[in-house]
Amino acid sequence: MSSAARKRVTAAGRPSGVPPYEPVVGAKQSILVVEDESSIASFVGMYLKRAGFAVRVADTGNDAIEKASADPPSLIILDLMLPDLDGIDVCRRIRQRSDVPILMLSARDEDIDKIIGLEVGADDYLTKPFNPGELVARVKSILRRSGPERREFVSSVHEHGSLRVDAGRREVTVVGEEVQLAPKEFDLLWDLLDHRGLVLTRDQLLERVWGYTFAGDTRTVDVHVRQLRRKLGDACPIVTVWGVGYKVSPEPKAARAS
């Protein structure tokens, strides 16, 4: 666990009577924009500054790693295509030391699948060209969720057939074997298990798991469900309700011969 993650756990587990963490009033949250195309970097920077953020720009992967470590930002916007390292490597390297929220940008939908498939630990993804208003909304939503309470789940466990999901440890096992999930995959699985028997629409899931308060790109939900099915195989409890959304059945399917 990174030291930042440990700090969050400590903050979440604070003794009663200790006031919750609150950001310093007036302190600007800082965003590190990692993008070599200066026109995009300045365009994104302009919108973020207008929304009240302090903005720094890194134009190479190495520059990003250095800046993220020298003066940790509140959030990183990371383009996939960079002149030296690619964004996936940069994300992995930053993740070794920090759990700073990362929003990845890519030019194509297939790259988003790749980012999710590689489990590099990004918090969200956006495909170019994007609406700058949506970018700012997503940044705000990630930051809202990345406060000290981000990983504060009441310690509890959901079991469904051979699947066991421990919210306190953020651990998923199938027949006792641990399965690595990306953060949003975990949150999505947990939310559906937590509403066992109820159908949640894609928009509801986007709002609950990603924090979007407007109708966003519901394809994100489908991509994450696909990843969960791939990783969990037959143990994946998520059922598609055609034309509506997804649900987890109240009871697991009858045990299959294994």
| Closest to Ca ion by CB, 100 or 104 | 104
Under 8 Å between Cβ of 231 and 172: no
Q: Are 58 and 34 in contact (CB under 8 A)?
A: yes
Geometric angle at alpha carbon 131, from 66 and 28, rounded to 5°: 45
Nearest to Ca ion of 109, 178 (CB atom):
109
Residue in 63, 79, 123, 185 binding Ca ion, rule: CB under 5 A: 79
Residues 80-109 that bind Ca ion (CB under 5 A): 81
What number of other Cβ atoms are within 10 A of residue 16's Cβ? 4
Q: Quick one: which segment of 61-69, 78-86, 88-96, 160-168 binds Ca ion (CB under 5 A)?
A: 78-86
By CB under 5 A, the count of residues binding Ca ion is 4
Q: For Ca ion, which is the closer residue by CB, 34 or 238?
A: 34
Nearest approach, Cβ of 79 to Ca ion (angstroms)?
4
Q: Are 202 and 131 in contact (CB under 8 A)?
A: no
47/235 Cα distance (integer angstroms):
43
CB of 24 to Ca ion, least distance (A): 33
User: Whole-angstrom Cα distance, residue 5 to residue 29?
Assistant: 18
String of DSSP letters for 182-234:
-HHHHHHHHHHHHTTT--EEHHHHIIIII--SS---THHHHHHHHHHHHHHGG
The pattern of x and - marking residues 7 through 46 that bind Ca ion according to CB under 5 A reads -----------------------------xx---------
Q: Toward Ca ion, which CB reaches closer, 126 or 188?
A: 126
Q: How far is the CB of 59 from Ca ion (least distance, A)?
A: 9
> What torsion, rounded to 10 degrees, do the Cα atoms 166, 244, 122, 169 define?
0
Smallest gap from residue 37 Cβ to Ca ion (A): 5
Q: With respect to Ca ion, which residue has the nearer C-beta, 33 or 136?
A: 33
Give the residue carrying structure tokens 């990371």.
78
Question: Whose Cβ is closer to Ca ion: residue 36's or residue 166's?
Answer: 36
Question: Are 224 and 188 in contact, with CB atoms under 8 Å apart?
Answer: yes
Mask 128-167, x = binds Ca ion (CB under 5 A)? ----------------------------------------
User: Where does this chain bind Ca ion (CB under 5 A)?
Assistant: 36-37, 79, 81
